[in-house]
Structure 1
Amino acid sequence: MPVKEFKLPDVGEGVAEGELVTWLVKPGDRVEEDQPVAEVETDKALVEVPSRYDGVVEELFVEEGEMVPVGDVIISFRVDGDGAEPTADDTGSDEVDDTDGAGDDADGLDAESEAEPETSSGRTFAPPSVRRLARELGVDIAAVEGSGPGGRISDGDVRAHAESSGSAGSGPSGEDDSSGPKPVDIGSGDRKSAVSKRGGSADDDTRGDDARSTGVDPAGRETTLATPATRKVARELGVDIDDVPTDATREGDPFVDEAAVRAYAEAGTAAVPATTDSEPAPEPEPTPASAGGSSGGSGFADASTDREPETVPYRGVRRTIGKQMERSKFTAPHVTHHDTAEVDALVEAREQLKPKAEARDVKLTYMPFVMKAIVAGLKEHPYLNSELREDDEEIVLKKEYNLGIAVATDAGLMVPVVKGVDEKGIFELAEEVNDLATRARERKIKPAEMKGGTFTITNFGAIGGEYATPIINYPETAILGLGAIEERPVVRDRSAVDDGFLDDEEGTTVVPVPTLPLSLSIDHRVVDGAIAAEFANTVMEHLENPLLLLNH
């Protein structure tokens, strides 16, 4: 079979390079067109890179953690058929030929049991994530009937097929399923070397030695979820992330964090493998603190070994965030207006609506109410929903209400955008916000879903705090920060408060009331302080009187 080299494609608008975070295949694995072969982190998002060929992985040219310019060769394949490189108009067959290279299979499986059957209609239309789901459920993607445009297969189609055929539990478990063909095994269950360099070998597997030296039973999973930073730590410590024990999960898949990796590595350092029954373990070298004989009982004798500074790469999403913040702060003169809304009526309204939301399987937070209140404010004060185009010397007043929601993730702050907020109901907004926030934290958000915002909300109150000075999401002209909703002392008319007094005493009293601190930052070139205060007043009026939100 001919060998084809595959270059890193342009995985995002304006992206010139990316960090190859994880290889999803190894030399010898059979892949099909559109199957993800690597995860690449750019300055915009973490994306999967799909194969353009049906064939067998020949060689990997890039180490995990390396920065790769767009256009550089990252992998090569032994391609099925005539090896013609597919084009945008190519509609050829997706059939897999397993007659070549069967003896080179990394897992030693029978070629006939590995072959994916030929599709009856030629080409199978399914995105990489759907193909991955099919492999996990043991479903033959070629046998699934797509419900999308042009027969495109969705997650729901795969799950429905798995439920109807009873194949969901047969493929991954390894049980024999005589009712249908076996899915193609891409070799992820016996991951060895991530990269086979020129002149090197893909079979140099030292994981067994590492596992024996840890004194902790390796997990030996096939799939493990982890952030790029965690995977980097694992590489530096020589730990196979699939062996790190964990009880944490993300959407049903095992999830490992940096602390678990370090704990597993430390367990390996502490355990000293015995070479013979009579050979004593070597004495540890004395540290400066222990050489003097006494550490004073402080328990910090070895603290000096942990005081070396740690360097973390400044790139990817973190670098993008930094550049965006720098551009915003040094371009737009920021002014922050602070105020506090009394939201006891809002708290009561949410409590009344929660049962209805739960009946629809929707988690109802305060965010949709705040979004509706902001839309009311933007309609009355359009300069906060604008963009200053300095080169054209004009201010563009936006007529769409697309609100960005800042989400803290392991990779940094991401801002997915909820579009058309003025046209959506409270429950619909709640569902969309929850979905976008979840996918942002799991690095599954698409770059297009973080574009087109006209105003941004940041909820620092979710992790504590009252007020802040949020930085505008340039080129927008305003951002609203939300503090924590807590009971705080508020002055109220005694006549409006049931304070236990029996007489009709006039005057005021101080009572605990749920309040929401607001921090509104504006671009002072576009928005005056008085306009900012009026906008805040409008937002607070709608939060304090939730029935007004029905009009927005």
Structure 2
Amino acid sequence: MAKVDMVMPQMGESIAEGKILKWHKKIGDKIAKDETVLEISTDKVDSEIPSPSAGILAEILVPEGETVSVGTLIARIETDASATVSAPATTPAPKAEVKVEAKVETKQESPMHFSSSIDDFQKQTVAAVTTNVAETVTAGGNGSRFYSPLVRNIAKVEGISVAELETIPGTGLNGRVTKNDILAYLTKRPKGGMVTPTVAASKQAAEVKYGFNRERSELIEMNNIRKLTAEHMRRSIDTSAHVYSLTEVDMSHVVKFRDKHKNAFEKREGFKLTFTPFLIDAMVKAIKDFPMINISVEGNTIIKKNYVNIGMAVSIENNTALIVPVIKDADTLNLTGICRAANDLALRARSKKLKPDEIQDGTITLTNMGVFGTTAGFPIINQPQVAIMGVGAIKKRPVVIENEDGEDAIAIRPIMYASLSYDHRVVDGALGGQFIQRVAYHLENFDVNTPL
């Protein structure tokens, strides 16, 4: 018998630790290769971790609810010749208790593939990163504070000392300083000097408590995604000067096209044709007309993105949490390609199969509140983007139209309200209004002869 070590996997370049949410297997259970063993959470995404080898779960070294650094040994799997699925070994099998490293092979599916085996972890992680991950900074004798390699690198480039780093309020897990925290600090830091944390920042970190009747109330602990969402939304309100525009859209052409093709499409593709791809397609076209909506801000610098990555909000965990997977290079996809990408990401978001890079680098976001019957809404900007479009339910409404004789008439049309929340620091009302109106134009003038 031999044992294969499972370690906390590297889920992304800037991710330095993970929290074990749930062990799906218990000691003594048989495990097939690539079968889900546990579920972990990072500050980017929750993921189910597959077994690097077939065998029996011999040891669980880190309990549920504990957070450990990347590379930490978390479990051991006992294998034998009949259970192990790996490349042929060139040396005799090691005795029990000896780590199997060179023999363990994990299927490489993509550049972002992650593994929980020690061998793959060593291959994926460069020495400089593992060294930084293992380091902590001692805070003046009051304990220790962890900094990710990304935060350390930014501090090094900007000349921020350890003492100054300790003064930055952290909004991450256990008060950890995130990339956005240090970038926000740099925007108000005087050249060459340390800035004292503001009173507002101190108050933000403090917990505010209100009275309530405990006997008639239930205390529910936030799950990890809810905590991250709360942090992200609060930071967005503090960062961006939110302003909103609203328009109504006649969805007649889109509704007729969908009704005509939805059955044949579902039979061919294996999933339903929804309105989301039409909305994303219209956003992509509008961005080509108004590219300055597709930007982000760092300090006093505007970063114009010459690519279009559309984030789409997906409700998960029985509508108790939200995640935003990103359709990369959406401007290179036709309508069918957008349909396939949106369906794939939504399915994997709900089954916790997303990879970290699939929820990063969005340039603008769409949230469809209409799926729950909402008429309209004004969403919070998904940082570091500067705009997010929200749409309500499509409902038949009486509207005034002009007939062929140029006379006004009342007609029934499928109407949808679309809103745009944008950052007034860099997007004025003219640009915001023109963009949302151009989205409406592309939807109202949708080409019913578009190939699908």
TM > 0.5 fold call: yes
Does the 8 A contact of 2:2 with 2:94 survive in 1?
Answer: no
Distance 1:4 1:340 in 2: 59
Give the TM-score normalised by structure 2: 0.65
Distance 2:335 2:354 in 1: 22
Match of 2:44 in 1: 44
Match of 2:312 in 1: 405
Match of 2:62 in 1: 62
Letter in 2 for 1:23: W
1:491 aligns with 2:391: no
Instruction: Pick one of 443, 451, 470 that aligns with 2:360.
Output: 451
What SS is found at the alignment partner of 1:546?
coil
What does residue range 161-310 of structure 1 map to in structure 2 within 5 Å? 307-310=216-219
- Measured at CA, do residues 519 and 100 of structure 1 come closer, stay the same or move farther in structure 2, by a change above 3 Å? same
Instruction: Pick one of 318, 337, 346 that aligns with 1:428.
Output: 337
Instruction: Pick one of 410, 428, 446 that aligns with 1:528.
Output: 428
Aligned sequence identity (%): 35
1:544 aligns with 2:444: yes
What do residues 264-285 of structure 1 show as CA deviations (whole Å, max 9, x unaligned)?
xxxxxxxxxxxxxxxxxxxxxx
Instruction: Pick one of 89, 113, 131 that aligns with 1:93.
Output: 89
Instruction: Pick one of 225, 236, 240 that aligns with 1:332.
Output: 240
Letter in 2 for 1:326: R
Match of 2:412 in 1: 512
Does the 8 A contact of 1:457 with 1:481 survive in 2?
Answer: yes
Distance 2:374 2:443 in 1: 20
* Shift of residue 23, structure 1, vs aligned partner: 2.2
What SS is found at the alignment partner of 1:431?
helix
Letter in 2 for 1:403: I
- Measured at CA, do residues 96 and 322 of structure 1 come closer, stay the same or move farther in structure 2, by a change above 3 Å? farther
Distance 1:66 1:306 in 2: 30
- Measured at CA, do residues 79 and 444 of structure 1 come closer, stay the same or move farther in structure 2, by a change above 3 Å? closer
Task: Return the structure number with greater strand share.
Answer: 2
* Shift of residue 408, structure 1, vs aligned partner: 0.8
Does the 8 A contact of 1:94 with 1:124 survive in 2?
Answer: no
1:480 aligns with 2:394: no
Higher relative contact order (CA 8 A, sep 6+): 2
- Measured at CA, do residues 385 and 96 of structure 1 come closer, stay the same or move farther in structure 2, by a change above 3 Å? farther
What do residues 390-415 of structure 1 show as CA deviations (whole Å, max 9, x unaligned)?
1xx32122121211111111161111
Distance 2:92 2:353 in 1: 29
Letter in 2 for 1:334: H
What SS is found at the alignment partner of 1:509?
strand
* Shift of residue 485, structure 1, vs aligned partner: 0.5
Which runs of 5 or more structure 1 residues have no equivalent in the other structure?
82-89, 102-121, 129-303, 497-503
What do residues 285-342 of structure 1 show as CA deviations (whole Å, max 9, x unaligned)?
xxxxxxxxxxxxxxxxxxx998342231x35222221222122111110101011011
* Shift of residue 379, structure 1, vs aligned partner: 1.0
Does the 8 A contact of 2:47 with 2:354 survive in 1?
Answer: no
Distance 1:71 1:65 in 2: 17
What do residues 463-508 of structure 1 show as CA deviations (whole Å, max 9, x unaligned)?
0212211111111111100111101121112x34xxxxxxx8x742
Does the 8 A contact of 1:373 with 1:549 survive in 2?
Answer: no
* Shift of residue 50, structure 1, vs aligned partner: 4.5
Match of 1:394 in 2: 301
* Shift of residue 358, structure 1, vs aligned partner: 3.3
- Measured at CA, do residues 343 and 50 of structure 1 come closer, stay the same or move farther in structure 2, by a change above 3 Å? closer
- Measured at CA, do residues 72 and 446 of structure 1 come closer, stay the same or move farther in structure 2, by a change above 3 Å? closer
Match of 2:23 in 1: 23
- Number of positions where the alignment pairs a residue of Structure 1 with one of Structure 2: 336
Instruction: Pick one of 220, 226, 229 that aligns with 1:318.
Output: 226
Distance 2:449 2:302 in 1: 28
Letter in 2 for 1:19: K
* Shift of residue 512, structure 1, vs aligned partner: 2.1
Distance 2:34 2:347 in 1: 25
Does the 8 A contact of 2:7 with 2:74 survive in 1?
Answer: yes
Give the TM-score normalised by structure 1: 0.54
What do residues 74-130 of structure 1 show as CA deviations (whole Å, max 9, x unaligned)?
32455769xxxxxxxx965399989989xxxxxxxxxxxxxxxxxxxx9876479xx
Distance 1:397 1:17 in 2: 31
1:352 aligns with 2:260: yes
Letter in 2 for 1:530: A
